[in-house]
């Protein structure tokens, strides 16, 4: 059975909130009809990644109303699983607070926490979001009160982060810190490119020409580590050591060619809601003959601390160490063997 339908506004429902995250990769959609309200976490294409029941607006049924679900309407929470078995008034003023990574969101009603859909919510695995008015665990929502201890630090960090990020001078000060660190490790900078255009996250690319002890140019992103990557916690036990990265590439050829690799990947984790780490590969998104470092390659391999490359460690942000991942070109054959 389809527990939650796709958030499409059909079937007599009304969209009362549609709010995108700062990276354009997820949208929070809140829908209601006369009987209930539900929130969905959707991709730009409309795929539902997480969903949570928010409220019944009429008396709760004793058990799940399958006819209602099968007709594509927002679910009614059964009586044992709601704090308001007789129903409650329509929702008040709704405001989302996105996690720093952009893959999860907290929803407030009149400044009171109403629900949380974290990045790990997955309806297909029976993991809905958390709702203030839910009791226990049901297919439609888990009790928010029972998860607050773990969620509260994430929500507090998100509020602090966006307050800082939207403050005047936040980006220039961060940029200066990274550039200062790279000055000490790689020597003075040459050219600098903006790699982000009008979209968050803001990322630049800095070029460091050869030095006496280094016969090649190093290019590095500046800004990826200003926000944690999405989904790391779903794969790593201690995500704090892996959630913040910058990318680097070494070249003896025209630095502008190598810079294209950084432009390609610098916003990728947030726009695709994924993460990049040591040993990961990325397949070039365009025709193989357009690969910047030569048509014999089809992508890149990412490595932390590869031999014969400068040690980039020593920079931290948000209390977490930043890792530099070095990109090296890789053939299709090597990429396939890397995956196996």
Tens of pLDDT along 224-254? Answer: 999 999 999 889 888 888 999 999 999 999 9
The C-alpha atoms of residue 209 and residue 217 are separated, in whole angstroms, by: 5
Total domain count for the chain?
2
Is 8 within the bounds of a domain?
no
pLDDT, tens digit, for every residue of 109-161?
A: 999 999 999 999 987 788 899 999 999 999 999 999 999 999 999 999 999 99
pLDDT, tens digit, for every residue of 67-111?
A: 988 888 889 999 999 999 999 999 999 999 999 999 999 999 999
pLDDT score of 340: 56
CA distances from 228 to 87, 163, 267, 309 (A): 39, 16, 12, 24
**Domain end (from 165, 196, 214):** 165
**Beta-ladder partners of 317:** 320
User: Residue 249, SS3?
Assistant: strand
Average pLDDT over residues 283-312: 92
Is 5 within the bounds of a domain?
no
The verdict on 182 and 244 lying in the same domain is yes
The verdict on 277 and 155 lying in the same domain is no
The verdict on 113 and 189 lying in the same domain is no
Range of the domain at 47: 13-165
The verdict on 234 and 108 lying in the same domain is no
- The residue among 256, 250, 276 whose CA lies nearest residue 328 is 250
pLDDT score of 4: 53
The verdict on 123 and 92 lying in the same domain is yes
Is 4 within the bounds of a domain?
no
pLDDT score of 5: 53
pLDDT score of 123: 79
Identify which has the larger pLDDT, 179 or 286. 179
The verdict on 316 and 172 lying in the same domain is yes
Is 106 within the bounds of a domain?
yes
The verdict on 126 and 194 lying in the same domain is no
pTM over the 0.85 mark: yes
Burial code of 132-155, b = ≥16 C-beta within 10 A, e = fewer? Answer: bbbbeebbbbbbbeeeeeebeebb
Average pLDDT, the chain: 93
**Domain end (from 165, 184, 202):** 165
């Amino acid at each position: 059975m389809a527990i939650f339908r796709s958030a499409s506004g059909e079937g007599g429902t009304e969209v009362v909130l549609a709010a995108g995250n700062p990276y354009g990769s997820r949208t929070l959609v809140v829908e209601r009809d006369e009987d209930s309200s539900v929130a969905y976490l959707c991709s730009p294409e409309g795929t539902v990644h997480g969903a949570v029941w928010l409220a019944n607006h009429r008396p709760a049924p004793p058990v799940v109303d399958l006819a209602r679900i099968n007709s594509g309407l927002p679910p009614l929470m059964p009586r044992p699983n709601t704090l308001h078995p007789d129903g409650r008034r329509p929702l008040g003023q709704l405001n989302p607070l996105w996690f720093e990574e952009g893959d999860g969101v907290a929803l407030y009603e009149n400044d009171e926490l109403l629900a949380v859909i974290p990045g790990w919510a997955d309806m297909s695995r029976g993991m809905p979001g958390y709702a203030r008015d839910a009791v226990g665990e049901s297919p439609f929502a888990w009790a928010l009160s029972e998860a607050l201890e773990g969620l509260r630090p994430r929500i507090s960090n998100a509020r602090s982060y966006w307050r800082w990020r939207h403050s005047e001078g936040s980006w220039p000060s961060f940029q200066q810190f990274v550039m200062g660190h790279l000055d000490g490790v790689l020597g003075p900078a040459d050219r600098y490119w903006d790699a982000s255009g009008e979209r968050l996250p803001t990322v630049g690319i800095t070029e460091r020409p050869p030095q006496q002890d280094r016969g090649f140019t190093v290019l590095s992103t500046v800004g990826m580590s200003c926000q944690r990557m999405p989904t790391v916690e779903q794969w790593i036990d201690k995500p704090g050591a892996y959630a913040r990265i910058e990318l680097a590439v070494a070249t003896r050829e025209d630095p502008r060619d190598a810079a294209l690799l950084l432009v390609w990947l610098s916003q990728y984790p947030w726009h695709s809601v994924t993460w990049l780490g040591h040993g990961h590969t990325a397949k070039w998104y365009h025709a193989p003959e357009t690969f910047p470092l030569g048509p014999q390659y089809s992508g890149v391999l990412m490595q932390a601390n590869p031999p014969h490359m400068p040690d980039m460690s020593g920079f931290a942000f948000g209390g977490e160490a930043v890792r530099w991942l070095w990109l090296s070109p890789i053939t299709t054959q090597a990429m396939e063997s890397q995956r196996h």
